[in-house]
């Protein structure tokens, strides 16, 4: 699969690397192809490709958005046409002052992005844990895989993203439509408050047990 990554920082960087290692053609959609961050990404994985965002998105089937939430409009503004019909994985989290929801819990960031891109299959995923868990998603010894919850309005898009999550070592769990993203964004705040403030391990993830 051809995958473009917009924002290859703490989250986009390891996901780009592992998706390439899983056999996908991964292009960093770089606003500055000569930046130190791009150079470091290529030094650690020379199989990653780099292109300007319009070109990277044009050739991708799946686009991963991992910019700060506040940057999403700027990052996506020139890409609306190129994103039509494609799957956009929304890894962003709107975070406000004091680790509150950045949109006042009135609407999820994912719904806001979906409303900007009505013809794009927006799927929220890879958002509910810290980046440490995207660097290494293995949790040996438990007998269950860590869960990756995802949501969105498009079933085909969610199935594609669930497949990618599985390839990266997660148990994908479709938790419903885009409205559910608000609750995933609150789960992120729970994780962030527990780990970054409360001192829990950054390698803490959730699992699903069903009977």
Ligand X SMILES: NC(=O)c1ccc[n+]([C@@H]2O[C@H](COP(=O)([O-])OP(=O)(O)OC[C@H]3O[C@@H](n4cnc5c(N)ncnc54)[C@H](OP(=O)(O)O)[C@@H]3O)[C@@H](O)[C@H]2O)c1
Give the separation between CA 53 and CA 44, rounded to whole angstroms.
Answer: 21
Q: How many CB atoms lie within 10 A of CB 199?
A: 7
Considering the complex, what minimum distance in angstroms separates the CB of residue 69 from ligand X? Answer: 5
Q: Which listed range, 15-23, 27-35, 140-148, 158-166, lies at the site for ligand X (CB under 6 A)?
A: 27-35
Q: Residue 113, class by beta-carbon neighbours within 10 Å (0-12 exposed, 13-18 middle, 19+ buried)?
A: buried
The count of chain residues that interact with ligand X, using the rule CB under 6 A, is 25
Q: What is the largest CA-CA distance in the chain?
A: 52
Q: How many CB atoms lie within 10 A of CB 178?
A: 22
Nearer of residues 30 and 156 to ligand X, judged by Cβ: 30
Q: Is 31 in the site for ligand X (CB under 6 A)?
A: yes
- Which of 1, 2, 9, 203 touches ligand X (CB under 6 A)? 9
Q: Which listed range, 7-15, 55-63, 110-118, 168-176, lies at the site for ligand X (CB under 6 A)?
A: 7-15
Looking up tokens 């089937």 gives 61
Residue of this chain nearest to ligand X (CB atom): 9
- Which of 3, 4, 11, 149 touches ligand X (CB under 6 A)? 11
Q: Pattern of binders to ligand X over 130-169, x per CB under 6 A?
A: xx--------------------------------------
Give the separation between CA 39 and CA 29, rounded to whole angstroms.
Answer: 13
Q: Is 186 in the site for ligand X (CB under 6 A)?
A: no
Considering the complex, what minimum distance in angstroms separates the CB of residue 64 from ligand X? Answer: 10
How many angstroms from the chain centroid is the CA of residue 111?
15
How many angstroms from the chain centroid is the CA of residue 49?
19
User: Interface residues for ligand X in 105-134 (CB under 6 A)?
Assistant: 127, 130-131
Helix, coil or strand: residue 37: helix
Q: For 135-199, where are the E strands, in sequence order?
A: 147-152, 171-174
Considering the complex, what minimum distance in angstroms separates the CB of residue 2 from ligand X? Answer: 19
> What is the H or E stretch that residue 88 is in?
strand 87-90
User: Interface residues for ligand X in 45-84 (CB under 6 A)?
Assistant: 66-69, 71, 74-75
Q: For the chain, how many residues are written?
A: 211
Considering the complex, what minimum distance in angstroms separates the CB of residue 24 from ligand X? Answer: 19
Give the binding site for ligand X (CB under 6 A). 6-12, 31-32, 35, 37, 66-69, 71, 74-75, 91-93, 95, 127, 130-131
């Amino acid at each position: 699969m051809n995958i473009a990554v917009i924002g290859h920082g703490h989250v986009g960087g390891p996901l780009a690397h592992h998706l390439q290692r899983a056999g996908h053609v991964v292009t960093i959609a770089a606003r500055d192809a000569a930046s130190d961050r791009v150079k470091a990404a290529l030094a650690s994985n020379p199989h990653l490709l780099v292109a300007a965002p319009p070109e990277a998105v044009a050739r991708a089937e799946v686009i991963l958005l991992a910019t700060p939430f506040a940057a999403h409009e700027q990052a996506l503004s020139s890409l609306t046409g190129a994103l039509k019909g494609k799957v956009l994985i929304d890894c962003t989290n709107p975070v406000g002052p004091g680790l509150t929801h950045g949109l006042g819990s009135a609407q999820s960031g994912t719904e806001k992005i979906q409303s900007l891109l009505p013809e794009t299959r927006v799927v929220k995923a890879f958002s509910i844990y810290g980046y440490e868990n995207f660097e290494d998603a293995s949790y040996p010894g438990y007998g269950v895989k860590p869960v990756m919850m995802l949501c969105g309005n498009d079933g085909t898009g969610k199935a594609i993203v669930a497949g990618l999550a599985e390839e990266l070592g997660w148990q994908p769990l479709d938790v419903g439509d885009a409205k559910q993203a608000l609750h995933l964004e609150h789960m992120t705040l729970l994780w962030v408050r527990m780990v970054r403030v409360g001192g829990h391990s950054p390698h803490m993830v959730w699992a699903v047990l069903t009977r």
